[in-house]
Chains A and B, each alone.
Chain A
């Protein structure tokens, strides 16, 4: 069975404007619309396209989070994933613990590719992919904008600061997605109904032998400093004058 494992994180929808809680303990998420992390949606879309091309037999989606994350896994199943795994943890986990958990799932599922988002848009950490690759002792191709599967390898175009880099990695490997890899499909209503019948397995941390370590403490969360109000100019000439006054040209 040629299998792809895709990681899914539940995050505040990218269209919402988050607010910091007055007590500084975090970000207020009550009543906020939650979605699949956009980069993970791209990861799933890529896996589905690989399967549709006949290069994979099964797409498994996995989350490490609270019980209500099942909602996003159901959406992933409605998009076309075959099975879902939820490793249930009510407390938020550090990326390295998530990577350790994913490694256990990798050992269980034996995928030839693990595709993850390059970052989650809540904590913006951008860590889990390379961490999993390190623990698994397999190659990584991060920030992928093109994944081309060959016999036993993948040729990956990566969006790096200098431009585009191309790597060839032996499989199995970990891939993380950049924005321009693909455009995820919309979920169709009949698929949502079908997804209810697809298997979603809930696992405990203990069953995987993982004890989270919590070595980074969140001390407080604050709103960012506010920029002072700017001025309005009416013409290009006034703009040049204002820039000169500020000494920036």
Chain B
């Protein structure tokens, strides 16, 4: 049995979200997969070209419609549902975009959804985290049921670029698009720093930082490392940083090569968000903090002494390399 897979592209400002290259890896692990990517946009030319350039994409379906200018689930879902019939699998990323859209698609298709696929066992059987990834469930979808799922992007490496780009086909749907949801605004992305979910290195701060101003210490080390900056829920709740920096079960799940947790005790819901990091470093004054149970390298001490020292050492190292 071959798998005919449709991936719903997430994009903003004409850029394909890096999560889609990871969904593509998941799709390609399905048996005998033939993968299409759907780009729903007001003018999807640039995004379609980026999707077509991903290794393994057979075809890009470009659905241009003025109503698709913003990713509104109630507007996108009926269009995706109408594209779905030829496909055995319809996938989206486990991001706020995918978590908003895919269950709505599944309900329109009257099929269940598999959330947060971390591994493919076979075409109908998947592994996924439950209880904040304190347990891993293997689930199997009944035969003759279309599979709608979200993909845990932290569990899959991005695919490479294709040697030759796939064809882009313009399609239109006859789906009825509701007008009961209006987009008002979205806060501008902060382009000055690497994005948390695609960053190779992340340094995160917790309540131990003590104030919003003290996060400057963290930013300075981040600059030396070329790292993204994250935060624990406690730091966000305390108002030290913006909410979109939150890493954890209810924030962002990240999978960098290097994750440095500074002044973070390591609540279960935070650890859930960082389990897929290759190397975890913990810096905390409390040697008994749970973060040390998962850390590959632990440093017990005062972060207000360690961070400036770390910044100085990294700067010196950079100077030597030049």
Q: How far is the CB of A129 from chain B (nearest CB, A)?
A: 8
Q: Is the interface of B mostly helix, strand, loop or mixed?
A: mixed
Contact A161 B197 (CB under 8 A): yes
Task: Please report the C-alpha to C-alpha distance between residue A127 and residue B310 in the assembled complex, in whole angstroms.
Answer: 43
Q: Which of A213-249 contact B (CB under 8 A)?
A: 215-224, 227-228, 230-240, 242-243, 246, 248-249
The answer to whether A138 and B250 touch across the interface, beta carbons within 8 angstroms, is no
Establish whether residues A227 and B135, one from each chain, have CB atoms under 8 Å apart when the complex forms: no
Report if A142 contacts B (CB, 8 A): yes
Per the bound structure, the CA–CA distance linking A104 and B149 in Å amounts to 25
CB distance from A184 to the nearest CB of B (A): 14
Is B265 at the interface (CB under 8 A from chain A)? no
Residues of the A chain whose Cβ atoms lie less than 8 Å from the Cβ of B197: 161
Q: Cβ of B186 and Cβ of A166 under 8 Å apart?
A: yes
Q: Please report the number of residue pairs spanning A and B whose Cβ atoms sit closer than 8 angstroms.
A: 258
Q: Considering the complex, give the chain A residue whose CB is closest to the CB of B180.
A: A170
Please tell me if the beta carbons of A131 and B180 are within 8 angstroms of each other in the complex: no
Given known pairs A99-B107, A248-B258, the reply for A161 and B97 (CB within 8 Å) is yes
The reply to whether A121 and B249 contact each other, CB–CB distance below 8 Å, is yes
Interface residue stretch chosen among B29-37, B41-49, B50-58, B274-282: B274-282
Instruction: Give the docked Cα–Cα distance between A142 and B104 (Å).
Output: 11
Point out the residues of chain A lying under 8 angstroms from B114, CB to CB.
216
Checking A128, A138, A155, A240 against B313 with a beta-carbon cut-off of 8 angstroms, the contacting residue is A240
Flag whether B20 is at the interface (Cβ < 8 A). no
Question: Cβ of B139 and Cβ of A217 under 8 Å apart?
Answer: yes
Instruction: Give bound CA distance, A218 to B114, whole Å.
Output: 11
Q: Do the beta carbons of A167 and B96 come within 8 Å of each other? A: no
Looking at A124, A125, A139, the one whose CB has the most chain B CB atoms below 10 A away is A124
Query: Shortest CB–CB separation between residue A215 and chain B, in angstroms?
Result: 4
Q: Do B142 and A216 touch across chains, with their CB atoms under 8 A apart?
A: yes
Does B295 belong to the interface (CB within 8 Å)? yes
Contact status A134-B104, CB under 8 Å: yes
The answer to whether B116 has its CB under 8 Å from any CB of chain A is yes
Q: Contacting A126 at CB < 8 Å: which of B77, B99, B309?
A: B99
Q: Which residues of B contact A96 (CB under 8 A)?
A: 106-107, 110-113
B174 at the interface (CB under 8 A from A): no
Task: Answer whether residue A91 sits at the interface, using C-beta atoms and an 8 A cutoff.
Answer: no
The residue from B297, B298, B301 contacting A243, defined by CB atoms under 8 A apart? B297
Query: Inside 8 A of A159's CB, which chain B residues have their CB?
Result: 96, 243-244
The 7 A-B pairs of least Cβ separation, nearest first, read: A163-B187, A134-B107, A166-B184, A236-B309, A130-B103, A131-B107, A127-B103
Q: Which residues of A are interface residues toward B (Cβ below 8 A)?
A: 12, 14, 17-18, 20, 27, 94-96, 99, 118-119, 121-135, 137-140, 142-143, 145, 155, 158-170, 173, 178-180, 215-224, 227-228, 230-240, 242-243, 246, 248-249
27 pairs, CB–CB < 8 Å, chain A vs chain B: A27-B130, A27-B131, A94-B112, A129-B103, A130-B101, A134-B74, A138-B180, A142-B99, A142-B100, A143-B96, A143-B99, A162-B12, A166-B183, A167-B182, A170-B181, A216-B142, A217-B141, A219-B139, A221-B137, A227-B294, A230-B298, A233-B297, A236-B299, A239-B297, A242-B297, A248-B201, A248-B258
